[in-house]
Structure 1
Amino acid sequence: MERWARELSARLPVLAPARYVVARPPGAFAHRAGHAWEQLVLPVSARRAAAILCPANLAPLAGRRNVVVLHDVAPLREPGWYSDLYVKWQRAVLPQIAKRAAKVIAPSAFSKAEVVELLGVPDSRVAVVPGGVDARFTPSADAAGARRALGLEDKDYVLTVASRTARKNLNVLDLAARRLAARGVALVAAGGDRPQFRDDAPTAGVRTLGHVDDALLPGLYAGAAAFVLPSLYEGFGLTALEALAAGVPVVAADRGALPEVCGDAAQLVDPTDAEAVAAALERALDDREAWRAAGPPQAAPLTWDATARGVDAVLSEVLA
């Protein structure tokens, strides 16, 4: 969601300078305090705007001029993945946000179906605009620099990029980590945690990097021998797309939007089957050149410029 907010706030004003003004909260209104700014300050400051585009699952409840990007409704589908307080908040606000929105944007057909089913939004009021990947994510990104900065110079590694949350299902990687270790390959996890998520700490066989600086991410992907995302639920699957763009063999769950994003360029497996995940990663290593070649063409049409154009088309429809 943060990536969407950054990319759209940079690209939409360039695409249509007369149409967009970016509203940014003061630094003091970060994280939870941002809800107060969004609900109380934003509607007043944007009262003369023809519409408010909200790119990160939430929107001001006071008003019906919102166009909101709902990336997923996972807290309603599987509340056990989140803290009780977060689930109560989402159950209270998401249906109201969706009901009052002039238009809802979903990043995948899967997410659109979830919004229609769980929030009762008519199909005609939900548009699908996929997310994107920027040009930094390529096979030629600075892998050596990322290895040096993150202490990964000693051996090959298989990468996962995911927050430590129950729905990312990282515990299923225990068997894969042991199989990879026998081949001299490390299994590395990049990503932090959030207080609203139920924690799913990686297995002891997975080396955790924590939060990785955004500047190092392209090289971290490009240097990986393979990428794995055994998530139980993805509204889009941005990290899998980034891995494909970087020319990394991808093993992903056959759930959520991941089949839409990955197509035939990745191995799709049952994320609850540890043997299937481990075997797919071994196949990825054994036939890595073929899988490396498959990724970039799959990712090529999904750019942030294309996302911005798609969002702008939705806004044009609403304004008309």
Structure 2
Amino acid sequence: MKQNILVVSESLGQPNHKRGIFHFTRELARSLASKGHELTLVVETSRRYRKLCRRERRTKLFAAQSRNIELLALYRYLDEINVSGPVTLSGTRRKVEWLRRRAGLLLSRDNIVCLMRALGLISLPTCLIENRPAALEYIPPDLRHLELFGDFQLEPGFFDYQDASAFFLLPPPRIDARKYDVIVVDTPTRVVIRRKPGAKVICIVHDLLPLTDLKLSDIATRQFLARIRTSLRQADELAFVSNYSMMRFRELLPQFAHLPARVVYPRTRFDAPDIPHLPAPSGRPGRPSFVVIVSNEPRKNVAAVVGAFRNVPQADLIVIGYTGEISRMRNLPSNVRFAGYVDEHEKAGLIAEAHGLIMPSLAEGFGVPIIEALAANTPVLCSDIAVFREVAGELADYFDPFSTEAIAASVIRVLTRQEECRGRIRARRHELAQRFGYETQARDFLGHEKPGERLVVAR
């Protein structure tokens, strides 16, 4: 049965750098759209958006309902993303700057409107704008997923206000979702949803790292607690990205054990042709290379991988993502190259060309690069942690993430066993596509169960 679905996702509705959450929700939207469901995305409107709308009306060049400039403003806003920037707050100066900016936003027109709506002092009609991407001349590759949405639901200052409301413990923002059958909420999103009888709220739990990672800031933990509490209190069902995440949730938040829950793995595309031969080198000509995808968080463990390549002079390491001070360290190994942020197309090419993808993380909710590598028939080298065992099984080579010697030994093993590693992946390709291909994600997410499956109640 086709359903009308509203997606409330900070990673799609506002520019940010939550890459794992972005990947999951983008592929989920692709899967839902392929099954004929009607999708609407909540998008925050800003001062810049209102200025362009007023300018459009003043010119009187367009028909009253054309809304071309409004659509252009939304796409431009959603393209203002700095994924190469830091993702954690560290240092007093950065925290003070963050608080100063949040306090300023709290006094903005958009935040005041959100606060008054949250208090029930004013009500605003639901504002929808039809998504007509054909009206735009060019859509960058990183925004192509927006074409999956039939409409945008416009909410003034929505995501900025939910940030401020979480920190200052103000009433959460409200949205009117009475025309939708299903509301998908990427947790942690702090929002109160007004819905029609019978409508279902499904909250996606990616991980609980802000409650368990000792290296994250107090601000991050405080915000996460306020956000996820609001989400869970109105959820009808929960979707977890891994069995590991679901088990951690049961341990840490047993008071929500009554909520029906299911595991819905992140997905990727397995429809690319399988390439049986060895890859071309993606580093220096004539040399094998390995890829690691990281961010500037201690749990990503990038320093250990960089150090390990001192002991593997015969291969190169390509580091994708923002690494902060690590890329500016003295005496870095000459066989390590820092690529910084690369777009999705270039990242896919680097993974496909590599002799192996390395996942050295100390903690994760899933590990999307693993399935991207498996889809490209690229060998995977992983930290020996429970969630990676769940995702990669016997298809990965595992190492102790605290030992640079163990990481180097894993690289050498994979380097000398290329055909064996790729052969194991090729033999399981159909099974991997069923488990991690986007075509089955909508079915799993909406609970259209296969024979013998049922919804699990987290106990």
Give the one of 282, 299, 302 matched to 1:170.
302
Alignment partner, residue 259 of structure 1: 389
Cα distance per residue 1:189-217 (max 9 Å; x no partner)? 11236xxxxx6736733321111111122
Q: How many aligned residue pairs are there?
A: 302
1:44-63 paired onto structure 2 within 5 Å: 44-55=175-186, 57-58=188-189, 60-62=191-193
The one-letter amino acid paired with 2:185 is C
The one-letter amino acid paired with 2:326 is A
The answer to whether 1:108 aligns with 2:242 is yes
The one-letter amino acid paired with 1:22 is T
Paired with 1:68 and 1:271, the residues of 2 have a C-alpha distance of: 32
* Pairwise CA distance, 1:261: 0.7
Paired with 2:30 and 2:172, the residues of 1 have a C-alpha distance of: 22
The answer to whether 1:201 aligns with 2:326 is yes
* Pairwise CA distance, 1:44: 2.7
Q: What is the TM-score normalised by the length of structure 2?
A: 0.59
Paired with 2:234 and 2:184, the residues of 1 have a C-alpha distance of: 13
* Pairwise CA distance, 1:78: 1.1
Mapped contact 1:190–1:209 kept (Cα < 8 A): yes
The one-letter amino acid paired with 2:343 is D
Larger radius of gyration: 2
Paired with 2:246 and 2:258, the residues of 1 have a C-alpha distance of: 8
Alignment gaps of 5+ in structure 1: 194-198
Paired with 1:153 and 1:189, the residues of 2 have a C-alpha distance of: 17
Q: Any idea what SS the aligned residue of 2:175 has? A: helix
Mapped contact 2:355–2:418 kept (Cα < 8 A): yes
Alignment partner, residue 438 of structure 2: 304
Mapped contact 2:186–2:203 kept (Cα < 8 A): yes
Paired with 1:218 and 1:10, the residues of 2 have a C-alpha distance of: 18
* Pairwise CA distance, 1:272: 1.4
Paired with 2:179 and 2:173, the residues of 1 have a C-alpha distance of: 11
The CA RMSD over aligned residues, in Å, is 3.2
Structure 1 pair 137–108 and aligned structure 2 pair: CA distance change class (3 A)? farther
Alignment partner, residue 159 of structure 2: 35
The one-letter amino acid paired with 2:33 is P
Alignment partner, residue 196 of structure 1: none
Percent identical? 25
Alignment partner, residue 358 of structure 2: 228
Give the one of 198, 209, 231 matched to 1:97.
231
Task: Identify the range of structure 1 (31-40 vs 106-115) with the bigger mean alpha-carbon deviation.
Answer: 31-40
Q: Any idea what SS the aligned residue of 1:155 has? A: coil
Structure 1 pair 124–68 and aligned structure 2 pair: CA distance change class (3 A)? closer
Alignment partner, residue 406 of structure 2: 276
Structure 1 pair 152–211 and aligned structure 2 pair: CA distance change class (3 A)? farther
Q: Any idea what SS the aligned residue of 2:441 has? A: helix
Q: What is the TM-score normalised by the length of structure 1?
A: 0.82
Task: Identify the range of structure 1 (299-308 vs 235-244) with the bigger mean alpha-carbon deviation.
Answer: 299-308
Alignment gaps of 5+ in structure 2: 1-20, 46-73, 82-101, 103-156, 164-170
* Pairwise CA distance, 1:51: 3.0
Structure 1 pair 285–213 and aligned structure 2 pair: CA distance change class (3 A)? same
Mapped contact 2:190–2:226 kept (Cα < 8 A): no
Cα distance per residue 1:113-160 (max 9 Å; x no partner)? 11222233216522111111213666549x76x94xxx7546321111
The one-letter amino acid paired with 1:300 is A
Alignment partner, residue 77 of structure 1: 212
Q: Any idea what SS the aligned residue of 1:280 has? A: helix
Cα distance per residue 1:36-72 (max 9 Å; x no partner)? 4779998434233233112454352446852111111
The one-letter amino acid paired with 2:441 is T
Paired with 1:200 and 1:256, the residues of 2 have a C-alpha distance of: 29
